[in-house]
Every structure is written in C-alpha cells, then in structure tokens.
Amino acid sequence: MGTLSLSDYEDVRIWAPWGHIAGRWYGNRSERPILAIHGWLDNLGTFDRLLPLLPDYLGVLCIDLVGHGCSARLPRGMHYSADDWVLAIARVMKEYKWPKVSLMGHSLGGVLSFIYTSLLPHKVDLVISLDILLPPLDSAEGLSIMAYFMDKHLVEEERADEVSMHEPPSYTLNQLRSVLSKGTNNSVPPEFAQHLLHRSVEKSELYPNKFYFTRDGRTKFYTLYPLNPGLAAEMARRIKDIPYLIIKGTDSPFLNSESAEAISILKSQNPHFEYHEVRGAHHVHLTSPELCAQYIVPFLRHYRPPSVASWSLASEDASLSTQEHRLAQESFFVRNQKRQNKL
C-alpha cells in the first residue's frame, strides 16, 4: 500500500439551496472517505502537503466551506455563522448517503467537527482535530468582537455592491503571498501561500500579471458559536469513546486554558483519545506535515483499517504457493526415504 497522490482526484459539487459546496475527492472513491474541513478564510488547499503522506487505501474528500474557495456564496443580505457551517457536514453526508462520517478539521474545521460530534455522536466514527478543539468561550471581549463584526458585515455588504460594478483591487502574486501570510500572523509563510491562493484568487482582466481575491468578504465577520464553559464541558461528555486525535502546534495559542476542561473530560472518559504536540504554528499541518502524519497515519490505520476487499492477496498467494511447493517436496522426500529403507 502506498500514499495518496494530489493528481488522483475528482472535483465534486454538492447541491445546496443557495448553489453548491465545492470539493475534491482524493484517492479511493469506492468507499466512504475522510471528510476534511479547512480553517477560517482558508480553503481545501490547506491539506495539499498533508494528503500525500496519508495511506492510499482511504479516500479523502476535502471541501470548501460556503463563501470560501470555489464554493458558492450566500445570497445578498445573508450573514455567515459557525452553526450554519456545521450543516455542511450534514449536507455532504446526505448527498452521499453516509450513515457515519470520519472528520478531519483544521482550526474552524476542527471546531465544526467538535460541534457536530457532540450533537450527533452516533454518526461519527473518528475525529482528527488540527490545532483546535473549542471556539472561543463567552466573555466580555467576545461581546466586543461580535459588535465589531456586526458593523463590519454591513461595510462588506456595501463593498460587495461596489465590486459588482467594478473589479476588486488586484495584486501581483508576490504581493498576494505577503498579504495572505500577514493575515495568518505568519502562520502560513509566503512560500506556502500558493496552496491557498490557487482556490481564492482570479486573474485580473484589467492588469496583466495581477490577481484579486474571490472569497466572500462577509466570511471575515461571521457569527461565533455561543459557548460557555459549562456547555463546552457537556458537549465533551457527549462525545464519550469516539476515537479523537488532537494535534497542537507548539507555537500556537489556539489550544489554551479555555480548552483544558474539555480535553480533561475527553481524556478521562475516552480510551481512544490522543493528544500530541508538534513543533510549529497554527498551520503546522501545512508547514510541517511530516510531524503531523507521524500521529495521523497510525490513528487512521487503527480506526479505519483497510477493508478485506481492498487487501492485495498477491503476496499471500505467492507465499502460499511457495509453502505448498516446499511441503510437496518434503512429502516426496519422506516417501522416497521410506521406500529406500524397505529395500
């Protein structure tokens, strides 16, 4: 068995009332895949460097959340929210008639995986959460952020009206790499920015060799999932013994004291819970995928092993043939020895 290839994929479009959810299904398309969900303002390209390290007997369906990447935007006048993005998981499952789902999420994708798993634990068979567990818990600071987001959402609506009449500001690729890296607090270094840019920019029709961002600006000011410490703890308890792997970047602030109680609950009640730290920042799966894969691959092989139908029997057949030949030779030797003894 080998590893996944980035060139072995099928582009998919999953129907939604406002348009579609775009995705790429890598590898095995005859069995239920891992559903991979990117982080806030990213897209499915965030998994580009991790996928080639994963076993190829499994497929991985990476999706762009609504308003991101190549997925459709919400209609004018609508507002993005984390609880609506959770529905993307249910929509994909309904599209492919999956009774269960295996989830891998980074950042916002990891938060959505936690929420969905706590709500419907009987429909999830494993979770891989990359540098996240919970959304920010309720606080006075959180209220200020919500108020700020509300105002900025209205500004983005006005800007979208202007963009509909004029092309957005455009930049060179080097400028785009710098802008994207700065927007992630350098969690995505400029040399890795192309993995996210290829699904979030379009070529300018006005200026040669320039590009502009295509993601919906309203996604920057979405509604946070309201969560307090007591509710977060209860959600963790509902997950019970579902295999759950968390990988934290050592230089990232996204798994902090707010997550401690939920992690403690998962660890105490769940014999299939794993928590590992690897050197890196928030996008450690993109910058240092090998460090993440050393935990993800054994986890997948243990909890989503190859099905019997996918096993290659060539080596087993060859081994049996050799063994049968050896036994036949031994039998012939024994019979011949007995015959000589009688003589």
| The pair of three-digit structure tokens given for residue 182, joined into one six-digit string | 């700065």
**What is the C-alpha separation between 65 and 32, in angstroms, rounded?**
20
Segment 15-54, tens digit of pLDDT = 999 999 999 999 999 999 999 999 999 999 999 999 999 9
Give Cβ neighbours of residue 152 (< 8 Å, ≥ 6 apart): 220, 221
Beta strands in 49-119 (DSSP E): 59-63, 101-106
CA distances from 250 to 69, 204, 257, 280, 289 (A): 28, 39, 14, 6, 14
Query: What pLDDT is attached to residue 265?
Result: 98
H or E element: which one contains 247? strand 244-249
| The pair of three-digit structure tokens given for residue 201, joined into one six-digit string | 């920019």
Which residues in the chain show pLDDT less than 70? 1, 163-165, 309-343
Query: What pLDDT is attached to residue 309?
Result: 62
Query: What pLDDT is attached to residue 1?
Result: 67
Query: What pLDDT is attached to residue 340?
Result: 45
Query: What pLDDT is attached to residue 99?
Result: 98
Residue identified by tokens 């890296």 is: 181
Cβ atoms 36, 85 nearer than 8 A: no
Query: What pLDDT is attached to residue 155?
Result: 86
Give Cβ neighbours of residue 168 (< 8 Å, ≥ 6 apart): 212, 213
Query: What pLDDT is attached to residue 60?
Result: 98
Residue identified by tokens 């209609």 is: 75
Query: What pLDDT is attached to residue 321?
Result: 44
**What is the C-alpha separation between 173 and 177, in angstroms, rounded?**
6
Using a 10 angstrom Cβ sphere, with 0-12 exposed, 13-18 middle and 19 or more buried, the burial of residue 279 is exposed
Cβ atoms 47, 60 nearer than 8 A: yes
Eight-state DSSP code of residue 44: G
Query: What pLDDT is attached to residue 312?
Result: 47
Q: What residues are paired with 20 via a beta bridge?
A: 15
